[in-house]
Structure 1
């Protein structure tokens, strides 16, 4: 990578660097682990959510015209994100309030990041250099001007866009033989603009913090930042244990240090008034399945990245929680009658295209029976994009033995 051009580091970037140096030895150690998980001795690339072997498998299946991969690829290339005429819409400051109101660059940033990843996937499958150059154009446009995220949804906006950029950058940097002259400048964007916003997570909503750790882990792999990777993984383990309840947790769900949920009443209020806890229930189940899916998607993405980097979290408590949470939500998403003890007997469905990654690892690879998750996944193929941070996972992870 060529050296990044000189640029004054902002105060949040400097704070992040200081915190990482000072606190990496005292990382948040959460449930389901006895220590912070170490970064690999050498990072594997491309290695954010999807590996070279997974990409090669998908490419081969598309070339053979096999389903569901060929249909998933066709869906991707027909999307607006694969348009070779797409014009990036960068801005220096992205301002996002609740539900992206106001939306000053929020949709543009998220969708340009998704488009960069889409173009990178299209490059890998087709070897059409126009897609690689378009991905580079999008990444270069934003890294040239972006300096900050503001307003109440700034952390969420940062992690959503920050989850897609490194997936695109990993594929282009490590598989495209052409020139990416701006790669050094691009690397300063996740380091200086994104990581400082998400490094400390969120002691409030589980789906926020899980998405934050997904972005932090992906950025850490791209930057080969072992300290940031360790810190994000430790926070991820703690938050996953608090997000998904298992009967083995005891009478009450686990919590994250710093939340200050000290009584049963506080925990019940935090979980949208749900007072009966059953295996697979998440913190967000009784709010709606869409936000529930955001958190579960992040769990599967981080576990997938960790496996590529040499540590298979699917075989740990993380995988156990993901398996039960996917099954629990999938059963209701498929139309099972809701008992009155669950969310007052009323659910807001809409899980989204978030089940392929977990199903591939837990069912197809590890052999767990996941009847409801498999049926829902196959019903929803081809899994497209949620237009936020999830994209094309039937193509990359559908029944993928790699």
Structure 2
């Protein structure tokens, strides 16, 4: 069941759903909205909720329950999304974790593939447990999570260590959030790992950017670390960390804040240019996934960042989708400072590199803007339809790019 009737058209900017979520997992709220008896109130989402909703990251109660009911009924597109999950080898209850004390991304001795494969296995097994109630999958998810929290002490490497801390931090926290109440899961130890291994790197990157010029790193570097801080805040009921991430989204000095990640808006066309559009389209679509994950996790806690800044993100996703569908979009020269001296570089044209690449980042956006909000997003819709049903880690190659998103948006967000 959607949290907002598809026939409602709330004001497009800066809505708060917090009042709708002060119930057990949002159940009563979802029912009330479905009945047309609740309204969204204005707010700016400046503070964490007084009480965090659990589960409350990429999947709150409403999404999980809808997928469970629809799959059981054999309804599409949920059923085909479910089938995409169950044939993925990472979702098998026979998965054996391979925890490491030290994870290295970048430089000599890289082994971070062991981490992202296990994280996606934990997440996919957790989804199978939540949707089908299979305890074998739950036991496997917990076995993976417990093995890593008992073993991992360090994430290191060259600058890429910050990518590992961000991407795998928020993904790990999402898997744990789904299993937080399951018997045998050592949630306290897992929280300690997130706070001691991942958060310090996330925080250091947003504060210092690896001692480089603040514009040196692409938006995705900030965004993945913002996602990790937000997810850790929710997992640990830590309001200060939640606020840190949301405030950075709104006001941060680096490229992950909304106006830096999306520097140019073409309001007359309903489009907006992404910071990495002149780099390549694979990383640009990664940015859509990172922004979508951030906005969805905040939405689950009652904050509408999807609509923040007059739907700036929606306009950007429309822009990215339109270009990757083979159509023309406007482009403004993008100039930034690099290295430690902030030496300037410029990109004068949009990049066609990896144009049309398939990434499972579109259904989360389509179902939010078109179904929850009732807005017209034709390019996002066309991209979503071209990718559907979305898979997850392991379905898009064996290299790290195929594990940048948790995926399965068709199964989890269809409305």
TM exceeding 0.5:
yes
Q: Describe the shift of the 1:346–1:136 C-alpha distance in structure 2 as closer, same or farther (beyond 3 A).
A: closer
Output the CA distance in 2 between the equivalents of 1:345 and 1:313.
Answer: 26
Would you say the 8 A contact 1:93–1:149 is kept in 2? yes
Would you say the 8 A contact 1:211–1:294 is kept in 2? no
SS of the residue corresponding to residue 44 of structure 1 reads coil
Would you say the 8 A contact 1:82–1:118 is kept in 2? yes
**TM-score under structure 1 length normalisation:** 0.78
1:361 maps to which residue? 368
Aligned mate of 1:179, from 184, 209, 214: 184
Deviations 1:107-135 (A, max 9, x none): 11012111111111000111010111100
Output the CA distance in 2 between the equivalents of 1:231 and 1:35.
Answer: 15
Aligned mate of 1:146, from 126, 146, 152: 152
Would you say the 8 A contact 2:128–2:137 is kept in 1? yes
Q: Describe the shift of the 1:233–1:103 C-alpha distance in structure 2 as closer, same or farther (beyond 3 A).
A: farther
1:123 maps to which residue? 129
Output the CA distance in 1 between the equivalents of 2:414 and 2:234.
Answer: 23
Number of positions where the alignment pairs a residue of Structure 1 with one of Structure 2 = 332
Aligned mate of 2:245, from 220, 228, 232: 232
2:27 maps to which residue? none
Output the CA distance in 1 between the equivalents of 2:296 and 2:135.
Answer: 27
2:34 maps to which residue? none
2:284 maps to which residue? 292
Alignment of 1:104 with 2:117, yes or no, is no
Aligned mate of 1:220, from 219, 224, 233: 233
Output the CA distance in 2 between the equivalents of 1:340 and 1:197.
Answer: 34
Output the CA distance in 1 between the equivalents of 2:93 and 2:326.
Answer: 40
Would you say the 8 A contact 1:292–1:351 is kept in 2? no
Would you say the 8 A contact 1:72–1:392 is kept in 2? yes
2:78 maps to which residue? 69
1:89 maps to which residue? 98
Give 1:272-291 correspondences, 5 Å limit: 279-291=271-283
Give 1:1-400 correspondences, 5 Å limit: 37-97=46-106, 102=108, 104-152=110-158, 153-174=160-181, 176=182, 178-180=183-185, 182-200=186-204, 201=206, 202=209, 203=214, 204-238=217-251, 239-247=257-265, 279-317=271-309, 320-337=311-328, 344=349, 346-348=351-353, 349=355, 350=357, 352-385=359-392, 386-399=402-415
**Greater percentage in helix:** 1
Q: Which runs of 5+ in 2 are unaligned?
A: 1-42, 252-256, 334-347, 393-401
Q: Give the CA deviation at 1:247.
A: 3.3
Q: Which runs of 5+ in 1 are unaligned?
A: 1-33, 250-277
Would you say the 8 A contact 2:358–2:387 is kept in 1? no
Q: Runs (4+) of structure 1 moved beyond 6 Å?
A: 338-342
Taking only aligned residues, the RMSD between alpha carbons, in angstroms, comes to 2.3
Q: Describe the shift of the 1:315–1:340 C-alpha distance in structure 2 as closer, same or farther (beyond 3 A).
A: closer
**TM-score under structure 2 length normalisation:** 0.75
Would you say the 8 A contact 1:40–1:310 is kept in 2? yes
Deviations 1:166-190 (A, max 9, x none): 111111114x3x332x222111110
Q: Give the CA deviation at 1:281.
A: 0.9
Deviations 1:255-277 (A, max 9, x none): xxxxxxxxxxxxxxxxxxxxxxx
Q: Give the CA deviation at 1:378.
A: 1.0
